[in-house]
Structure 1
């Protein structure tokens, strides 16, 4: 038979009371000091009119079907990541214009890819698998090295199987410092224009939009940033220095 929460609490409290009594503590209530008053948020410019157009989106906000690629048994482990990237990049350039030099150069490099990847000729990096959507099935995460001389050095894409259809659920490009997987989330660290800081964006699955969304985007202190040297102790002000006495002969 399981103990009730009340009985368990009594068992845990009793030794504490005996110990406190042995130390001469009267066991009365003690004040923890004043509690700050809760304040409601203050709304600024309440009469500000709504924007005429939405802001530019950071990466994709909708899922995109990838046609021409079969997924046997819905298992993405059985699909060549290079085949997926080639089909997707050809049909869906994402954030890149087909006339853009970066797109043309990357597409030309993808054409040289065989079945292998992550070599000098093929820009597709080694693939990773993780359940991002929470359906219990592994999804596919790939990275594509972009042509040199471009501010965005890596295109990151993620794919899932939705209703037996291979679907792109995430696509973004940035000057990437590192990528991490934590639970169902993809964390991207990118270069910031502010020295000693970097961008940290957390991409999470949104069941309504059926895609990964940048749910957290912040600028943080870089772990590799040099630590600020402690300032030297200031010297006493001139007025604080002892004045010469009259007997000093000055």
Structure 2
């Protein structure tokens, strides 16, 4: 609530200055001068008003999809008590076609030193109090799966499953910010994922392509925007 008050103070100061000059006869002795008429604000203009509205999305982002992870017990409802490898293996076993590029490597976890499942991070992504789990799984061609899990209604549930040519991942509050390689030289994708209480899943609430200044992107295959 302090923002509007702070914004109002400079306006008040200018008004007092104008009033003072009007009373004291500032004239052109360093007084305020008009810079001309204020340009008229131009609002957004709708183009092609007769264009029919779309009835379905052009691409399936995979956003808003959730899946209950079966066969994994969560003692006390606390995800910290469960090995992330156990969760990922259960998901791969339940949907082998979706994870066929990592199925063999995940099957050797956790004994293999090349296990692609990276250590989990715990944050309250959903805003309901308990910590949720964020997992990264390395995939071929320097890509990675990013998965988020929560425990609700007595069930372990996957609330995010994204695959991309990931450069790095940041947590900003309850948002997951993913930087990924773009197929345009000198650019990268930056996507912010946030939990949506209606879909009860992580959604890409902001997706943008940014100039990085680099002369070329890493030698990667075209990123799969799943």
> What is the TM-score when the length of structure 2 is the normalising length?
0.75
1:81 maps to which of 81, 84, 97: 84
Residues 189-225 of structure 1, C-alpha deviations (whole Å, 9 max, x = no match): 11111111100000011000000000111001126x2
Q: How many residues align?
A: 197
Instruction: Indicate conservation of the 8 Å contact 1:59/1:173, yes or no.
Output: no
Q: Residues 36 and 54 (structure 1 numbering): CA distance in 2 closer, same or farther, change over 3 Å?
A: same
Q: Residues 194 and 73 (structure 1 numbering): CA distance in 2 closer, same or farther, change over 3 Å?
A: same
Equivalent residues in 2 for 1:19-168 (5 A)? 34-92=37-95, 97=97, 103-114=99-110, 120-146=113-139, 148=140, 150=141, 153-168=143-158
Residue 199 of structure 2 aligns to a residue in which SS?
coil
Residues 99-152 of structure 1, C-alpha deviations (whole Å, 9 max, x = no match): xxxx434111111013x6xx6421101111111111121110001111x3x4x6
Instruction: Indicate conservation of the 8 Å contact 2:84/2:120, yes or no.
Output: yes
The structure having more radius of gyration, on CA atoms, is 1
The answer to whether 1:206 aligns with 2:199 is: no
For the aligned residue pairs, the C-alpha RMSD in angstroms reads: 3.0
Unaligned runs of 5+ in 1: 227-250
Unaligned runs of 5+ in 2: 216-226
CA distance in 1, matches of 2:39, 2:32: 20
Deviation at 1:41, TM superposition (A): 1.2
Deviation at 1:168, TM superposition (A): 0.5
CA distance in 1, matches of 2:146, 2:38: 47
Residue 109 of structure 1 aligns to a residue in which SS?
helix
CA distance in 1, matches of 2:36, 2:173: 40
Deviation at 1:33, TM superposition (A): 6.3
Q: Residues 126 and 33 (structure 1 numbering): CA distance in 2 closer, same or farther, change over 3 Å?
A: farther
CA distance in 2, matches of 1:57, 1:161: 26
CA distance in 2, matches of 1:135, 1:33: 54
Structure 1 stretches of 4+ moved >3 Å: 28-36
> What is the TM-score when the length of structure 1 is the normalising length?
0.69
Residue 61 of structure 1 aligns to a residue in which SS?
coil
